[in-house]
Every structure is written in C-alpha cells, then in structure tokens.
Amino acid sequence: MFPFVCRGIMRAAIHTRRISRGTLPGRLLSSCDGVPAGLADADTIFALSSGHGRCGVAVVRVSGPASATALRCMAGLTRSSLPPPRKALLRCITDAKGKEVLDRGLVLWFPAPHSFTGEDSVEFHIHGGTAVITAVLQALGSVPGMRPAEAGEFTRRAFQAGKLGLTEVEGLGDLIHAETEAQRRQALRQMSGDLGRLYQNWSHKLKRCLAHVEAFIDFSEDELIEDGVLNQVDTSVCHLQAEMERHLKDERKGERLRSGVQVVIAGATNAGKSSLLNTLCQRPAAIVSPMAGTTRDIVETALDIGGFPVLLSDTAGLRDSPDVVEREGVRRARERVEQADLTLVVVDCAHLLTDAQQAVDVLQTHLMCVLSSQEQPETDRCLLVLNKSDLLPECERQKLDREMRRVSGLPPVCLISCHTNDGLQDFLTVLHSSVKTLCGDPLSGAPTLTQARHRAHLQQCVAALAQYKRHRDTDLALAAEGVRLALTSLGRITGRVAAEEILDIIFKDFCIGK
Amino acid sequence: MLTKKRPLPWSVLSLLSRRAAHLARQQYDVIVVGGGHAGTEAAAAAARVGAETLLVTQKIQTIGALSCNPSLGGVGKGQLVKEVDALDGLCGRAGDWAGIHFTILNRKKGPAVWGPRAQLDRQRYREFIQSELLSTPRLTVLEGSVEELLVTEPNPEEPGHHRVTGIRLANRSQPITASSVVLTTGTFLSGALFMGQTMSPGGRFGDAPSSAGLSHTLRERLGLRTGRLRTGTPPRIVKDSVDLCQAELHLPDTHPTPFSFLNKHTRCKPEEQLPCHLTTTTPGVERVVKESLHLNCHIQQDTKGPRYCPSIESRVLRFPGRSHQVWLEPEGLTSDLLYPQGLSMTMPPDMQLRLIREIPALRRAEIHTPGYGVQYDFVCPTQLSPALQVKNTQGLFLAGQINGTTGYEEAAAQGLWAGVNAAHWALSLPPVALSRTESYIGVLIDDLVCRGVTEPYRMFTSRAEFRTSLRPDNADLRLTLKGSEEVGCVSSLRYREAVRVRDSLQDALAALHALTLSTNKWRNKLPGLQMSENKNTLVTAGELLQYNHVSFEMLASVFPESLSPYAEFSQRLKIEAVYKPYCDMQKKEIERIQREENMSLPQDLDYFSLPVSLSQEVREILDRVRPSTLGSATRLQGITPAAVVNLLRYVHATNAGLKGRTHTNQPERKEERDEERCARNASLPQ
C-alpha cells in the first residue's frame, strides 16, 4: 500500500509542475514555486490542535492532499522517504524552503484513509512556546495549497468521511460555535484598530475591482462600459498587490498584542470593580474611592492565575453620564465586554433583596444589561461576583450564600468581600477553573496565532492577484477568477462577500438595461 | 442535423391543432398552461420523458411568439440556451432555424464567458416551435382559457398540503384531469398594461387578459405569497423611416456558430445575414423624459424599482447627463420593422414619437406599435422545491416569469426543468435535480428557490461561482449524458452524438499527452515558437497546447497521423487544454458541495422545536426557506457553520436509493421513445 501511495503523490507533484509551466509560458519555476498557494488544491488545512498556556508540547495538525508535501518540505525528507505510517519520527522542523530550523520535534504521517479526517494527515509535535508555534504555522501557510482551518473544519471533514458517529456529532455544533465565537472575538480585538481599517479598505477596493471586471465581462457587449474601466482595475490590483506584499514584509508588529485570556471586570458604578482588580493583582493598580465613576479609562494588568496567562481589565462603571470623558469610558467598557473571553460582573450585594427569587431576577436583569454589547449574551462566559459581603449582617450573608448556591439559570456566583478578603479563596478556585477551560481552546488568547492565520490568508490573496495579471490580456474569465479567489482569501479575515454585494456595486456604478 | 423541413403553413397548423383539440381526452399525465418559452419547453420535455401531455394556450397562433426582443442568447443567457439544447430542448435548434444575425459575444474575453447570440426572424421562430410541438408524440395542443386550477382539500394528515388534480376550462363543463400541472402564465397573472396615463388589464398587448380564477386559486386556496413586478417593451419602428447611415454598422460573424450541438450550420447562410446598427441618445431624449414624467403612470409608480435600469426613463433619471446606447435590431428577413433595444418606455405615444425623433438616426422615424409597461404578479419562488414544484401542492409546477425571472432563456430553462419533473411526478419516477456546480440552470433554480427575488431575475455569468467549469462549449458533456441516463429527456440520436464527442475528446487528449518532444525539437518543427524552457526539457503536445499562440492545427501539422482524426474538435481541445488546470482546482470544492447536496433535509422538519442549540434567528430563516438539502442550507445568508453541523443530525443521504429506482423503471419507455424519435428524424427530408 505504502509504495503505491508514494508513487501516486510523486506523480501528482510532477504533474503540478508541468501545469504551472504550461500556464506560465516563458518562465521556468523552481520546484518549490509550484502553483500559487491560493490556486492549487485550496483544500489542505492546518491548525494548532492543542491548547496554549502551560503546555510543554503543542500539536499542529495538517489534513488534505498537500499534507505529504508539507511534511517533506518541513521535515527535510526527500521525495521517496515518507516516514512509515503512524510511527513517530524525530526530525528537525524547518521552514518550507528547508533553510531555517524552527524546532526539533516529532512528526507523524497518517496516509488516507487511516486518519482522523480520512484524508492524508500529518501531525507535528513541537515545543509549546508561542514563538515556535507561530513560526511553524507561518511556515505551513507558505506551503503551496495550504490554508488555516476554519472553525471545526477538521471535525467536519471527519464526519463527512464517515469517521464520526452521530453521537459524536452531538457536541460538534456547540464546539464549532464556540470556536467561531473565539475566533470572532480574537479578530475583533485586532480589527478594532488601524489594522482592521487597513484590511477593510483592501476588501472594499478588491470588491470594486471584482465588480468592475464582472461588469466588463457581463455587460460591455450590450451596454456602454468604457474600456478605461479595466485599466483602472489593473492599477488597483497592482497597488493592492504591492501594498499587501509590503505589509507582509513589514517587521514592525505595531502595538505588542499581549497573550492571555481576556478577563474583563464590569458592572455598575461603585460596585467595587477596581477593588477587585487590586485584590487580584495584589497591588493598588487602580485608584479606588467611594465616589461613583472613579475609573474612567481601561486599567489593564497581566496576571498569572494558576499558571495560565490572564489579561485583566478594569472598566468604567456602566451608567448614563453627562460627562463626556466618562461617556467615552463607558463606551470603551462596553467594547471590552464585547471582546472578552470571560466577564466578571461585579454587583454590590447590598442592592440585593433578601428574597431569593427577587434577587435572581435583579441579577438576571443586571447581567443582560452588562452583557448587552455582546452579539449574543452568553452567560456561560461570565462569573457573577457579589462584592461587599462584609457590609451584610452575618445571618443575611449566610442566607444569601445558601440561596445563590441553590438557584439555577445564573452563571457561577461568588460572594466575596474585597475589604476583608472573605470568600476570595473560593472565588479564585472558580476563576481558575474557568480560565483553565478557556486555555484548553487553542483559539482564545493568543493573538500571534491570529496574526499567523491572517498572514496565510494574505499570502494567498497576493498569489491570486498574480493570476489576474497573468491572464489579463489573454483570458478575462480566468483573470476575474484570480480577483474572486483573492477576495475569498481576504474574506476569511474580513468576512465573506456575497455575490449580491458585487451586483450591487455593478448596478450602482454602471447603467445596465433590461 | 438542422431539419430542412418547411414548417407547415398557417392554416394547416391551426387546423391540425384544432382537430387535436377536438379529440382532446379528459385525462392526461401532464397539463402545461401557457405557450411561451417556458410552456413550450415544459410541454415538449414532459412528452420526451414519456408523459401524455396537454398544452393549453389562449391562442395557438402565439405559441412560440417572441413578445419582446427578437434575439436569443447573449452573455450568461447563451450558456442557458446551450444547456437547454444539451437536454434536447427546443430553443437552441429554433434559434439556429430562425437566426438572421449570429455573433459570439465576448470573443476576446475567454471561452468560459463567450456569449453565443442571434437576432431572430420572429415568424421563423414561431413556425419552428409550432411545427416541432405538433410533431412531438404524446403531445396535444389545445386552445382555451383556464378558468380554474383543480386541487384537493388539504390532506388531514398533512395540514396545508394539497394535490393538484387538473384544470377547468372556460366554456367547458367537464374538467380535464392530470397528475401534474405546469403553470407558465408569464406576465398574465393579474397583469396590467400601462401606456401614458392609461391602464388596461392584460399580460401582452393584443391578447385577452387571463382569468382571475387562477390567481384566486394560487393566492386564496393554496395560500401562496405573491409579489408584483414590472417590465416593459420599446416601440417598434418602421424600418424605411430610419436613416441607418447615421448609425454605426455592426456586422454578424462571417461564420455563424449554431447554438445546437446537433447542428453543424445555421439555416441562414452567412451572406444572407442582416446587420445591426448602434446609435446613442442625446440630451433631447433626457428632456422629453422629464417633460413627460407627469404623464407616465408606470414610472411614477416606480417606487422600489430594480437595481438595474429597465427603461429609458429609469436610465436618464438615474444616470443623467450621459448618452445611452440604442441598438437597432432587425425583426426578421422580410419584416419592415426595427426593434430599438434600450428604448423600452411607457410614456404616451405622442411623447414616444417625440423622444425617438431626438435621436439623429431616428429623426424622421415612424412608430408602428408604441412601447408599453406591464405589471404582473409573481409567486415568491422560495415556495418551490428545486424541482420547481410548489412545496405545499403535490403535482403543481411553476416556470418562467411567474417565478419572478425575466428573459426567454431563463424561462426556457425553467420550463424544461419543470416539464421534466412534472412528467417524473406523473409517471411516479423520483424527482431529478440539477446542481449549481454542474449547470447555469442549476444556478438559476438554486438562486430562485433559496434566495427568492426582489427584482426580475436575470442570468449573469458572475452568478455562477464555477464559471470556469460551466462553459458553453462543454454543456453537452455536462448535461446530455445525465439527461439521457438519469432524466430521460434526451433522444437516442443526441445521446449517441454526445457519447461520440466525449470519447473522441478523451482519445484526443490522451493522444496529445502521449506525444512528447524536447523543447528544441518543438522549436525546429514549429518555427516562431516562444518557449524559454531548457532545450532538453521534454514537453508533451498537450502542455504545448496551453500556450497562447499554439493551436491544435499547428500540432496536427507536426503529427498528422495521430492528431488529424480529431480536427473537428480543434477548438474544444484547445479550450480543454487551457482550462484543465483551473477546472481541476475547482473540482474539490464542487465535490464538497455535491456531497452536501446529496444530504436532503426533511421538508416537514419543525425547526422551532429541534432540540439543538440554534439561535431563534437561524430557526426563523430555516423555517421560512425550508432548504431541501444541506447544501442549500449552507448557502443561506445568516446560517452559521455551527448551525449547519447541528443540522447534520437530520439529513438523510437519499441519492443512492434514488438512482436505482430511475434505472429500473425506465428501459421500456425509453426504447419506445427512441424508436419514435428515429422514425421522425428519418422522415424529415435532409
């Protein structure tokens, strides 16, 4: 079986080279060039499949037809020597050109159909540091035909290959939902700044390019579409390609994005949010005062909770204020809550009535109000912290504590006092377990991974734009296909572009008859 | 294969049809209502599949009439014509018979977006369609007005689900029963004609309005949601009154390319073709539009119009200060009229005359028939299954403008597919589906039933995400074999031709890849060849064919023995060679989508009570659209990947069982059908 598979792959590899030679008259490609990344079998995927944080070994999975190519390029294997199936092999792991050694680790080769997804698969077991993981993911992204996996894609392929039973699929929807959400939050954190604007701007320009090429294809024979339209597209595509290439080469990373689970403290004014921050980081990081509205900006601090990296943010108390500065503070607070992996909703427990049912109602309303900026308020990503327990009489406190343990329909509730540190130990245990769960998800908390993903998509985008230029004068249909692929790649960062959006632009920019 | 048979003269035609009408039975497998592009294709397709079919139309004379522009095909639309032809439909061959000016649009833009197009002789087109329908076995044509659509009361076990049982005609007490009814009523559903400030009921100028009974059944009894759309047609101009010297001359291709895969040449000889002329509007046109605005009901009511510009009024109002193109197209070889494409208008006739005379070439032009607007009801197509069957009424199929589309080709494509499925339903065969990954017809139907329409839907190549693979040149390979083996709507003659073409192309490509020379030798044999590869690199003829300036003929001159047998396919081979790498890249994605389309979702799923984590929003979308497969669910806007995975639990893969049934049921019928076909073809004088 094995030699057969091997020959098959070699044939495929040679075939690919021939094709590229054929479609690129006048240019001889080196063996690693192949078909541009965005255009080859766009269907081999990779992802970090282990969690981050306190881990010694990280596992990166690859699945799809180009898996063997990736393995050979990055584990320094010659064409004929793939490792025996499903046997770990210790190799130096290099970048895709085989020049720079990134790490020393185990590689495993799972030829189809005996793999998790039923496709050819490879696993890289590497050291768990962020730098190593990022480097390996970037290297994979530069192998022709590879792209980062979308949320749940491995599992979905496994299902489609008949590798998962229906019972195993039960939890899959939730898992994919969680992954999609985590990616969305992560992207949101990065996209809210200049980078986001840059990507959006590219996407906007690319949409126009595609709309104009499509208009020229579909309508120029019957309607008045000036020839100049295509020249403008040529210029735009050139500029975009150059800009993206410059961006990919730019070594300045901008503001350092700090790793860690994003935990945000939020709640009404004077609930003791800043006190909670100070208690958690064991230093007076934020100013506290009995005056409502003391905290106006975000106060951030990096913490280690039970060995997991946490980025803790204190925010302004949520209230309507006539003060311009405070209003901005509240806006930022809401933005942070939207991007948070975990929200600590702090409530002054003196505001809770002793009647348990009423207390639950008050808390639920309050929770919805605080989380309202999230697209779908998710109570499973939040903890309720009832502060100032020291101000309650002992009997009231115990009663409240008992009631809160009984009720359902609320996120975990902790009754604490930042003043006396009463209940703090229990709270830390709950917080630790939440953070641990979040760190098990490879997608939350590591901005460098998102950067690596973006990078891979941008590389594909640039490669696809080259297809436009290559076919511009000979076959406009194939050229347009290049722009379309470029937009699809960029859309994996900025959001999918529907065919109707392109038609909207066409009908807005050109007078198209019946 | 172009049939040289003279169409029957008028009188004989109507006589034959009336006789047929007289003999009309009380019971059919399929009844098709309407004789336009959708209706004629539907009736012919149903009969080809093997159903006893009745076509009911208000006027036999107007069967196959081109109500608007005298042309067929174009960019995107041409692909539809090729596909209808590949499934043995009528419009491609009718176009070859009636065409008087053939061009391939987009000739310089790549074969995937070539747009075969022809100006037509109206009379010849009608003649062809009528004679073709009349000689189709199992098909009866009946003149009459449908008074009522007969449907059963809802099944108590499945509330809201009806079954169609037939139709009732005006002036005829006995109902005609059928298992399937295909409605192709075009713009006649509550149609209203507009010209200036006058409004009159009707769907086409000169024809009686259709009965209100049909509308009533669809809306009130079946509870179908309808919407209202508008369209229009330009005035027809007397040819002799036009100064064509003032317009730009546009000649047809010197070698007309037929639409049909069965035809080697068109009826019209190259030198007999007529030219078209191009002219442009002037500022005066804009002025007349603005001055006549208060007299223009149709435009005033244009509150939420389509995104494109259906009339000259909308053009100058939305893009003022520009000049707009007007094509002056011939209406036929002997016709003394011109069709001004781009001048659709609804102002009063005297203003229409003023407007056209603002254009230099039309300064002394006379109007033969003024332009007018039409407003009509359409049935929101999201209520249809991919077989174009109304979801809540078994056996009721809709096709054409009634589904919110515009254009002859879009109508023909739907008609064919509705006819095929109506016949399958009537004959208890499983429904058949065309995927958007394999055809423009599939794109059209998928867009309609999944997304619905807000403006008249027209085909563009940009709607087909797999455009590179869905080319006009390969429609036969994509559809004819399937049309014969799975659908049963293709004659054996066409099937055999498609198999021959497929095998020859495969052999030729194999031969090309078996011929290998070093770069150096290629350069010697083909002087002027630009290649930068090493001189000792081995290159196959197939690879060489991917180069821009290399043609199949050049290669055949080097290897005449192995390649000259395939000379007739030289263009197709060149296209195949250039596109192959890109089609291979799309294959994975196509296969993924096809896998998802083979997983069907039950139509009676109660999305609101499914015990899975789906947001309320997603549940509402799914409940509204009721996607028939996982593939179409995936493409819905607002459906998340997580939601799709949650739906996996409810899908069942039906395809394997489906194919088995199709094959076991068919052989007898098919042979019988083929024999008739052959007999018919043999009897035609060649």
Which mean pLDDT values do the consecutive 10-residue runs of chain B (686 residues) have? 49 48 76 97 98 95 94 97 98 98 96 97 97 95 93 82 93 91 94 93 87 87 93 95 96 97 96 96 96 88 72 92 94 96 95 97 97 94 95 96 97 98 97 94 96 93 95 97 96 97 96 92 86 79 91 93 94 95 87 82 87 84 87 83 80 48 38 44 35
Q: CA B282 to CA B287: how far, in whole Å?
A: 9
Q: What is the pLDDT of residue A51?
A: 65
Note if the bond before A113 is cis, omega within 30 degrees: yes
Domain A193-249+449-509 part of CATH 1.10.760.10: no
CB contact under 8 A, A477 and B112: yes
Highest-pLDDT range among A126-130, A180-184, B657-661: A126-130
Radius of gyration of chain A (CA): 27
Helix H or strand E segment including B230: strand B226-233
What's residue A497's pLDDT?
Answer: 82
Between CA B675 and CA B325 the distance in angstroms is 50
Nearest of B210, B490, B309 to residue A511 by alpha carbon: B309
Helix H or strand E segment including B280: strand B276-280
Question: Which residues, listed in sequence order, are joined to residue B398 by a DSSP beta bridge?
Answer: B183
Percentage of chain A surpassing pLDDT 70?
A: 78
pTM of the model: 0.80
In this prediction, residues A394-403 reach a mean pLDDT of: 82
| CB spacing of A26 vs B406 below 8 angstroms | no
Q: Is the Cβ pair A514, B406 closer than 8 Å?
A: yes
Q: Which of residues 472-531 of B touch A (CB under 8 A)?
A: 530-531
Taking a C-beta distance cutoff of 8 angstroms, is the pair A86, A107 a contact? no
DSSP A458-507: HHHHHHHHHHHHHHTTT-HHHHHHHHHHHHHHHHHHH-PPPHHHHHHHHH
What residue of A is the nearest CA neighbor of B69?
Answer: A514
Residue-by-residue DSSP string for B55-86: EEES-GGGTT---S-SEEE-TTHHHHHHHHHH
Could you read off the pLDDT of A6-15 as tens digits, one per residue? 333 333 333 3
Tell whether B461 is within 8 A of chain A (Cβ): yes
How many degrees, rounded to 5, is the angle at CA B49 between CA B48 and CA B54?
Answer: 65
Q: Please tell me the distance from the alpha carbon of residue B283 to that of residue A361, in angstroms, as a whole number.
A: 69
Task: Quickly list H helices, A282-341.
Answer: 324-339
From chain A, pick out residues whose CB is under 8 angstroms from the CB of B107. Answer: none
Q: Which residues of B touch A161 (CB under 8 A)?
A: none
If you search the block for the tokens 């059944």, which residue do you land on? B217
Contact A514 B344 (CB under 8 A): yes
Q: At A435, which amino acid appears?
A: V
Contact A130, A98 (CB under 8 A): no
Measured between CA atoms, the residue of chain A closest to residue B596 is: A160
Cα–chain center distance at B671: 28
Which structure tokens are listed for B335?
A: 């016709």
Which of A105-114, A376-385, B472-481 is most confident? B472-481
Going by C-alpha positions, the residue among A46, A77, A85, A82 that lies closest to residue A64 is A46
CA-CA distance, B576 to B573, in Å (whole number)? 5
pLDDT at A514 over 60: yes
CB of A466 within 8 Å of a chain B CB? The answer is no
Same fold, A44-161 and A193-249+449-509: no
pLDDT of residue A170: 63
Distances (CA, A) of A155 to A70, A151, A168, A441: 21, 9, 10, 15
Beta bridge partners of residue B166, listed in sequence order: B150, B177
Which residues 86-145 on chain A approach chain B with CB closer than 8 angstroms? none
Instruction: Confirm if A423 and A431 have CB atoms less than 8 A apart.
Output: no
Quick one: pLDDT at residue A291?
81
Q: Of A43, A176, A507, which has the smallest distance from its Cβ to B307's Cβ?
A: A507
Second CATH level (architecture) for the domain A44-161: 2-Layer Sandwich (3.30)
Provide mean pLDDT across the span A27-35: 29
Residue B378 Ramachandran class (φ > 0 left, ψ -120 to 50 alpha, else beta): beta
DSSP string, B464-485: -TTTTTS-GGGHIIIIIHHIII
DSSP string, A496-512: PPPHHHHHHHHHHHS--
| Nearest CA among B330, B362, B372 for reference residue B245 | B362
Q: Do A18 and B543 touch (CB under 8 A)?
A: yes
pLDDT at A167: 63
Q: Which of A17, A146, A147, A217 to mutate to test the interface with B (most CBs of B within 10 A)?
A: A217
User: What sign does the dihedral A500-A501-A506-A507 (CA atoms) show?
Assistant: positive
Q: Tell me whether residues B645 and A159 touch, CB distance under 8 A.
A: yes
Strand partners, A302: A311
Residues in chain B within 8 Å Cβ distance of A506: 462
Burial A40-67 (b: 16+ CB within 10 A, else e): bbbbbbbbbebbbbebeebbbbbbbbbb
Q: Which residues 354-383 on chain B approach chain A with CB closer than 8 angstroms?
A: none
Q: Across-strand partners of A59?
A: A125
User: B399 CB contacts (<8 Å, ≥6 apart)?
Assistant: B38, B39, B42, B182, B183, B184, B388, B411, B414, B415, B417, B418, B419
What is the residue whose two structure tokens read 């047998």? B565
Q: Would you state the pLDDT for residue A258?
A: 57
The rounded distance, in Å, linking the Cα atoms of B80 and B73 is 8
Nearest chain A CA: its distance from B187 CA (Å):
16
Is the confidence at residue A160, as pLDDT, over 80? Answer: no
Please state, in angstroms and rounded to a whole number, the distance separating the CA atoms of residues A289 and A179: 39
pLDDT of residue A197: 82
Query: Which of A439-443, A479-483, B380-384, B444-448 bottoms out in mean pLDDT, i.e. has the lowest?
Result: A439-443
Which pLDDT does position A378 carry in this prediction? Answer: 66
Are A26 and B534 a contacting pair at CB < 8 A?
Answer: no
Q: Cα(B433)–Cα(A127) distance, rounded to whole angstroms?
A: 51
Residue whose entry in the numeric block shows the structure tokens 């994509």: B478
Check residue A77 and give its pLDDT: 84
Q: What confidence tens digit (pLDDT) does each residue in A310-369 have?
A: 888 999 888 888 888 888 888 888 888 887 888 999 998 888 766 767 777 888 888 888
Residues 300-339 in A contacting B (C-alpha not used; CB under 8 Å): none
Chain A partners within 8 Å of B463 (Cβ): 499
The values of phi and psi at residue B633, to 5°, are -65, -40
Residues of chain B neighbouring A166 (CB-CB closer than 8 A):
649
Chain B neighbours among A 152-191 (CB < 8 Å)? 152, 156, 159-160, 166, 169-170, 172-174, 176-177, 180
- pLDDT given at position A178: 66
Query: What pLDDT is recorded for position A251?
Result: 59
Question: Domain A256-439: which topology?
Answer: Rossmann fold (3.40.50)
Q: Please tell me which residue of chain B has the smallest CA distance to A171.
A: B646
| Angle ∠(A161,B623,B610) on CA atoms, nearest 5 | 60
Q: Check CB contact under 8 Å for A476 and B113.
A: yes
Sheet holding B198-201, edge to edge: B198-201, B192-195, B372-379, B226-233
Average pLDDT of A177-200? 69
Classify B5 in phi/psi space as left (phi over 0), alpha (psi -120 to 50) or beta: beta
A165 vs chain B: nearest CA distance in angstroms?
10
Structure-model confidence comparison of residues A223 and A37, the more confident one: A223
B304 close contact with A: CB closer than 8 A: no
B637 contacts in chain A (CB < 8 Å): 498
Instruction: Indicate the helix (H) or strand (E) that contains A201.
Output: helix A194-219
DSSP codes joined into one string, B371-415: -EEEEEEEE-GGGB-TTSBBTTEETEEE-GGGGTB-SHHHHHHHH
Instruction: Write down the domain spans for chain A.
Output: 44-161, 193-249+449-509, 256-439
Q: Which two tokens stand for residue A152?
A: 């749940």
Task: State the ipTM, two decimals.
Answer: 0.89
Strands (E), A95-155: 101-110, 121-127, 146-148
Please state, in angstroms and rounded to a whole number, the distance separating the CA atoms of residues B372 and B346: 5
Nearest residue of A to residue B78, measured between CA atoms: A218
Inter-chain residue contact B641 with A150, CB threshold 8 Å: yes
From chain A, pick out residues whose CB is under 8 angstroms from the CB of B324: 224, 511, 513
A83-97, A430-444, B79-93, B327-341: range with lowest mean pLDDT: A430-444
**CA-only gyration radius of chain B, Å:** 26
Tokens of B186: 């075009």
Kindly tell me the burial class for residue A375, based on how many C-beta atoms sit within 10 Å of its own C-beta (0-12, 13-18, 19 or more).
exposed
Mean pLDDT of A46-59: 76
| Cα of A101 to nearest chain B Cα, Å | 32
Main-chain dihedrals φ then ψ at residue A330, nearest 5 degrees: -65, -40
B322 phi and psi angles, rounded to 5 deg: -115, 165
B503: CB partners within 8 A, 6+ apart = none
Interatomic CA distance for residues A353 and B28, integer angstroms: 76
d(CA A499, CA A476): 18
> Between A and B, how many residue pairs show a Cβ–Cβ distance under 8 A?
178
In chain A, which residues have their Cβ closer than 8 Å to the Cβ of B319?
Answer: 511
Pairing of strands B27-33, B53-57: parallel
Strands B162-169 and B146-151: antiparallel
What does the pLDDT read at residue A190?
Answer: 63
Chain A residues whose CB is inside 8 A of the B280 CB are 224
Q: Checking DSSP bridges between strand A89-94 and strand A101-110, what pairing results, if any?
A: antiparallel
Contacts with A471 from chain B: Cβ below 8 Å: 110
Identify any residues that bridge with B394 across adjacent strands, giving them in sequence order. Answer: B163
Q: For residue A466, count CB atoms less than 10 angstroms from its CB and return exposed for 0-12, middle for 13-18, buried for 19 or more.
A: middle
* Nearest by Cα to B426 from B625, B177, B226: B177
Calculate the CA B140 to chain-centre distance. 23
C-alpha span between A345 and A340 (Å, rounded): 12
